[in-house]
Structure formats: structure tokens, C-alpha cells
Amino acid sequence: MAQNQCYMFNPLLTDFIDMKHELVLLAHKIDWKYFEHTFPSAIV
């Protein structure tokens, strides 16, 4: 339980990302399933 408490004050990555940024908006428009299907070996 003490191990979980140390993360309580660490901000999440989503706290730093501006969800209205152009690259975030673009990422939401990309068909990621297409890339996963077309290039399966590139997905690690």
C-alpha cells in the first residue's frame, strides 16, 4: 500500500498534454487500426 502512495503526488502524462494541440487532434483522426494491420511487425 505504501508503494501506491508514492504515486499519489506524481502528475500523470495527461496532465501535461494540451488536448487541443494540433498534434493531439491529428492523432485522434489517424486510423491506428489500419497501421496495426498493415505493419504488424513495426508495432512493439
Grid cell locating 43: 508495432
With contact defined as beta carbons under 8 Å apart, do 18 and 24 qualify?
A: yes
Model pLDDT, residue 26? 97
Per the confidence metrics, is the pTM higher than 0.75?
no
Q: What is the pLDDT along the chain (44 residues), one digit of tens a residue?
A: 455 566 677 888 888 899 999 999 999 999 999 988 998 887 76
Model pLDDT, residue 1? 47
In angstroms, the CA 36 to CA 34 distance is: 5
Q: Is 15 left (phi over 0), alpha (psi -120 to 50) or beta?
A: alpha
In angstroms, the CA 34 to CA 26 distance is: 15
In angstroms, the CA 18 to CA 5 distance is: 26
Model pLDDT, residue 11? 84
